Amino acid sequence: MWSRPRSTSEMSAPGRPSRTTPPDGVPPDVRRAVPGGGAEPHPPDAPESVARAICLRLLDRQARTRTELADALRARGIPDDAAATVLDRFTEVGLIDDAALADGYALAQHRERGLAGRAVALRLRQRGVAEDAVRAAVDQIGGDSELMAARMLVERRLRSLRGLGPQVQARRLVSLLARKGYSSSVAHRVVREGLGGDEIGTEQSGLDL
Domain boundaries, the chain: 24-92, 98-138, 143-204
Please tell me the predicted confidence (pLDDT) of residue 191. 95
pLDDT at 196: 82
pLDDT tens profile 120-147: 999 999 999 999 999 999 999 999 999 9
Give the model's confidence band at 94: pLDDT under 50 very low, under 70 low, under 90 confident, else very high.
Answer: very high
pTM: 0.72
Q: Range with the lowest mean pLDDT among 47-51, 79-83, 123-127, 196-200?
A: 196-200
Nearest to 70 by CA among 62, 58, 61: 58
Quick check: 16 pLDDT over 80?
A: no
* pLDDT value for 14: 44
Distance of alpha carbon 50 from alpha carbon 118, whole angstroms: 37
- % of the chain surpassing 90 pLDDT: 67
Residue that wins the pLDDT comparison between 25 and 179? 179
**Which pLDDT value is given to residue 93?**
94
Q: What is the pLDDT of residue 86?
A: 97
Number of C-alpha atoms within 13 angstroms, CB side, residue 142? 2
Q: Is the pLDDT of residue 118 over 60?
A: yes
* CA distances (Å), origin 37, targets 66, 76, 89, 104, 183: 23, 22, 17, 30, 51
Residue 182, pLDDT above cutoff 70: yes
The residue with greater pLDDT, 9 or 70, is: 70
| Predicted pLDDT at 64 | 96
Residue 151: count of CB within 10 angstroms of its CB: 17
pLDDT of residue 163: 83
Q: Does pLDDT of 1 surpass 60?
A: no
- Asked if residue 164 has pLDDT above 70, the reply is yes
Q: What pLDDT sits at residue 19?
A: 44
Average pLDDT over residues 87-91: 97
Instruction: State the DSSP H helix or E strand holding residue 141, giving kind and residue range, or none if neither.
Output: none
**Is a pLDDT exceeding 80 seen at residue 105?**
yes
Q: Among 29-33, 34-38, 204-208, name the most confident range.
A: 29-33
Question: Are 35 and 29 spatial neighbours (Cβ–Cβ below 8 Å)?
Answer: no
